[in-house]
Amino acid sequence: MVLSTEQCLKICGSREHYTSIELFEDMEFPVRIMRCKDHPYACVHTHDFYEFVYVSHGIGRHITRLKDTATRGATNMKHTNIIKGDLFSILPGEAHGYSETRSFRIYNILFLPEFINNIIPGQEYLQNLYFLINRSVHDMASGKLYIHPEFQEPIENSLSTIISEMENKRSGFQEIVNSRFKEFLIYLSRSGQMHKKEEYRKKVALEHDGIRRAVGFIEENLHRSISLSDVADAACLSPEYLSVLFKRKTGASPWDFINHSRIEKAKDHLKNTNEPVTQIAYKSGFSDSSYFTKVFRKYTGLPPSDYRKSLK
Give me the tens of pLDDT residue by residue for the chain, a chain 312 residues long.
555 555 555 555 557 889 999 999 999 999 999 998 765 556 788 999 999 999 998 888 888 876 654 445 546 777 788 888 999 989 899 888 888 787 789 999 999 988 887 777 666 656 666 667 665 544 444 578 888 888 999 999 999 999 999 999 999 999 999 999 999 998 988 887 776 676 766 777 778 888 888 988 988 899 888 999 999 999 888 999 999 988 888 888 999 989 988 998 899 899 989 999 999 999 999 989 999 999 999 989 999 999 998 887
Residue 100 has a pLDDT of: 77
Whether residues 50 and 184 fall in one domain: yes
How far apart are the C-alpha atoms of 91 and 51, rounded to whole Å? 7
Q: Which of 253, 274, 293 is the last residue of a domain?
A: 253
C-alpha torsion 11→76→79→226, nearest 10? 110
Whether residues 112 and 128 fall in one domain: yes
Distances in Å between the Cα of 27 and the Cα atoms of 11, 20, 178, 297 are 17, 8, 15, 45
Phi then psi dihedrals of residue 113, to 5 deg: -55, -35
- Indicate the DSSP class of residue 253: -
Whether residues 172 and 235 fall in one domain: no
- The upper half-sphere exposure of residue 226, i.e. CA atoms within 13 Å in the direction of its Cβ, equals 28
Domain of 26? 5-196
What's the structural domain count of the chain?
A: 3
CATH number at residue 38: 2.60.120.280
Q: Which amino acid is at 231?
A: V
Whether residues 155 and 286 fall in one domain: no
